[in-house]
Structure 1
């Protein structure tokens, strides 16, 4: 299986992005700059950052400082967390140079002052004070004493603007003495709540345009704009202005096309088959050429790609590569999967998990059949998958007949007979938007109607679904809540409200995650009523405010691709606007 970690090996052909970024950072006339690596969740931003780091690590005159914004999500103030990370890295760098070490200690003292001044201001004046963001700060320890004592302490402190200037001055002096370039790489802003994401960006502004200091920031632009609207109520013009002033060089991460998806599948399976590193590199270089060639021609034949490997390795990967070749076109068309490397990895992990269960239970389903069924789960909703397996179990002859009708493929459009077969297999839900995909899926080899063990796939599905939820060790109450909420389609459900009140506090997050997964598989988003389980998720968010932000974040991402008025209205409702 594959983890979600960023890769230092370029499977996605993003080297060109890293090369462009490296050249900007090494240009002497651009030594004080900011680069934005922009892309949606799971698009490969962290991998691009890793490739940039690999390029820069070869340079002795560069100090690289990495800041993972998500790690400091629950810290009281994300701004000072970034400042402290920079200060600690510089401290290690100059530990043997006494004169500069003193400057770094001075920088640390200024950051410490800033960190302690903000809460003092907050408690003394009854306001939530921060540098430019208006961030809400944590309560002050009673040990600080009375308001009079706090005001006395304030008189001994510098103002926040003076401290900020001290920080900038100390930092500049350190870099002048070091004669090195500092490059700060910021990742995982996407995973932060709006307030924390903006606090991190405000901290970056403290260092912008200082000599020999550059930033590389990975972010989802839409998420940042949404955060600006949420926290500052900024309009469209001001959201764009903010980003334009903060990021001098925006570099978008390109979406994966058919050739890139196919290439990515080949490389992931080459890794799982444990091909020798030299063979994998040979394959990677070959695929790089074929992806470029696809821009002006057709996909390279699988035989041409396999020819770059030794005969033994060819035979090892051939069946899996043939499977990847047959599904890549369909995979590139599935909206919930296409162009997102992280989602593709998770799909392959589902496939591998089913394979393990199949082998352990001696079910002996062909790999191609397992993969095809996993793909179907990304096209239709979870309820429609239940309908599919229910028909298979209760009336196999009708199931087989309908499958064969779909497996005939379509000509110019889907026939009435095929429309009826889709309804028979999946129920009468909203399927218009995915009918073409379903027929295309049915035509991908192998045909399920000809698989001798297809009936056993229902058992495999049930086991896999149970594992996906139960690996979290959820209580029976939470499992029941997931079932009820995922099938709640009215806002006045007594059953839903009753089960919500009984969910253990430490499992509410996990329940919302599972309900959102089911919503995400909804085949139709035209109207609010089309989305299975939406009302259940809203009820959970309104009755358990701790997970409301999670649902808002989900619909904010969905809104980027669906762009439906009802989604925007729902987001405003959840925010109480």
Structure 2
């Protein structure tokens, strides 16, 4: 059969070239049987076989086929004897990844076919000169004389921000297929946001989506939890980390936030700590549902929460209604009040304190939570007038003790504590 086949090719005067793609996607048995079939025709005249496959996946198939063969050298030899001219395709660099992303955005834009081709040809020419220091970026495309829509320019900015991480992140490593999949997911979510009337910044969504795809799942769940618990949907806990990462300072992050990717992601523009992420999470909720505290409240408790947040100075008038709310819902109410209270920087008698005190009066176990919260405030923020405000509460003793023993709490605060105790205005615990 080999002789007859070789003679047929010679008489036809042609060279038979067989292209085999995605062999590494086959099951090990199919991979090996295909390679063995190739071997039958491998050394015939006028034939050539081109195999596009992941080297490591093919070696894995060989190991699976030859069960018990633990010697990696034998596995390597099998593959090397089959492949006579290995050509390794280099990974895409940042320039190529940026150009690829920009071209995908161009291809999906409303530009004319002529303008698209002009941009594509110019990018290819520029990429050939990147070794000379030339760059393929937004500025280069804008210099081509093509009138670009504003949203496309914004997408180019997104490509510039993401290109470096797309090149180095372990979950993507410059793989064009994965990059395109990422941008497809981004496009779908932006379409959903427009259809649902949810205002989502594409750059914010892209950064969040990148963390969802590559970051630790526990860290992503923690991020969602913070956004859900915040009254404004802002992950304020990221501020210190993002500021440090942007400034290039070292970060000592604990699990699940201690992956190298996280530090690069934190430095990525735009910072998320001051953005309301509820809309972005809403359009991507197939990954992690957005559950706000209000979703766990009865209509009565939700109404009380709204009143406490909007008019905390009127909280004493709500005490009777609060005593009839379930313990679980009271806990959620205190969660939200303390979340709002964390934004205050001056702890004299801010309005939110009234609401917290009334809630602690309605449900005594919440007093311990409020005490722990106040004791944890930065000493420089504590003002003397808070002392008489809380001193007659049973839970306040530990707070006053902590302030009185702290070397960083101001002298006027300690004086107020001493005078209050001298007049017997401190509740007995």
TM over 0.5: yes
1:262 corresponds in structure 2 to: 98
Q: 1:301 offset after TM fit, Å?
A: 4.8
Distance in 2 of aligned mates of 1:298 and 1:239: 43
Secondary structure of 1:209's counterpart equals: coil
Q: 1:326 offset after TM fit, Å?
A: 2.0
2:306 corresponds in structure 1 to: none
Secondary structure of 2:280's counterpart equals: helix
1:182 corresponds in structure 2 to: 16
> CA-to-partner distance for each residue in 1:258-316, whole Å, 9 max, x for gaps?
111101101111111143333233222322233333334263452222222522x4656
1:454–1:399 distance in 2 versus 1, CA, 3 Å: closer
Given candidates 51, 60, 74, the residue that maps to 1:238 is 74
1:364 matches 2:188: no
Secondary structure of 1:335's counterpart equals: coil
1:201–1:463 distance in 2 versus 1, CA, 3 Å: closer
2:282 corresponds in structure 1 to: 459
Q: 1:203 offset after TM fit, Å?
A: 0.7
Q: How does 1:103-502 map to 2 (within 5 A)?
A: 167-233=1-67, 234=69, 235-297=71-133, 299-311=135-147, 313=148, 315=150, 317-396=152-231, 400-410=235-245, 411=247, 413-415=249-251, 419=253, 429-434=255-260, 437-451=261-275, 453-463=276-286
Secondary structure of 2:87's counterpart equals: strand
Distance in 2 of aligned mates of 1:168 and 1:252: 30
Q: 1:401 offset after TM fit, Å?
A: 3.0
Distance in 2 of aligned mates of 1:196 and 1:301: 43
1:157 corresponds in structure 2 to: none
- Contact (CA 8 Å) 2:16, 2:48: kept in 1 or not? yes
1:398–1:271 distance in 2 versus 1, CA, 3 Å: closer
Distance in 2 of aligned mates of 1:336 and 1:215: 31
Q: 1:350 offset after TM fit, Å?
A: 1.4
Structure with bigger gyration radius: 2
Distance in 1 of aligned mates of 2:14 and 2:134: 47
Secondary structure of 1:248's counterpart equals: coil
- Contact (CA 8 Å) 1:168, 1:210: kept in 2 or not? yes
Q: 1:238 offset after TM fit, Å?
A: 2.3
- Contact (CA 8 Å) 2:95, 2:136: kept in 1 or not? no
Distance in 1 of aligned mates of 2:137 and 2:30: 48
1:459–1:314 distance in 2 versus 1, CA, 3 Å: closer
TM-score after normalising by structure 2:
0.61
> CA-to-partner distance for each residue in 1:344-383, whole Å, 9 max, x for gaps?
1111121112112211211111111111111111332233
Secondary structure of 1:217's counterpart equals: strand
Q: 1:395 offset after TM fit, Å?
A: 3.3
Distance in 1 of aligned mates of 2:278 and 2:151: 29
Q: How does 1:555-570 map to 2 (within 5 A)?
A: none
1:322–1:206 distance in 2 versus 1, CA, 3 Å: same
- Contact (CA 8 Å) 1:189, 1:219: kept in 2 or not? yes
Q: 1:321 offset after TM fit, Å?
A: 0.9
Distance in 2 of aligned mates of 1:372 and 1:267: 20
> CA-to-partner distance for each residue in 1:386-444, whole Å, 9 max, x for gaps?
2211111113579543222123133554245xx3xxx6xxxxx343223xx33432333
Secondary structure of 1:346's counterpart equals: helix
- Contact (CA 8 Å) 1:279, 1:309: kept in 2 or not? no
- Contact (CA 8 Å) 1:188, 1:218: kept in 2 or not? yes
- Contact (CA 8 Å) 1:409, 1:440: kept in 2 or not? no
Secondary structure of 1:255's counterpart equals: coil
Secondary structure of 2:178's counterpart equals: helix
Gaps of 5+ in 2: 290-429
Q: 1:211 offset after TM fit, Å?
A: 1.7
- Contact (CA 8 Å) 1:334, 1:378: kept in 2 or not? no
1:150 corresponds in structure 2 to: none
Distance in 1 of aligned mates of 2:221 and 2:251: 24
- Contact (CA 8 Å) 1:282, 1:309: kept in 2 or not? no
> CA-to-partner distance for each residue in 1:142-199, whole Å, 9 max, x for gaps?
xxxxxxxxxxxxxxxxxxxxxxxxx212211221221111111112211111111111
Higher relative contact order by CA 8 Å / sep ≥ 6: 1 or 2? 1
- Contact (CA 8 Å) 2:62, 2:75: kept in 1 or not? yes
> CA-to-partner distance for each residue in 1:502-555, whole Å, 9 max, x for gaps?
xxxxxxxxxxxxxxxxxxxxxxxxxxxxxxxxxxxxxxxxxxxxxxxxxxxxxx
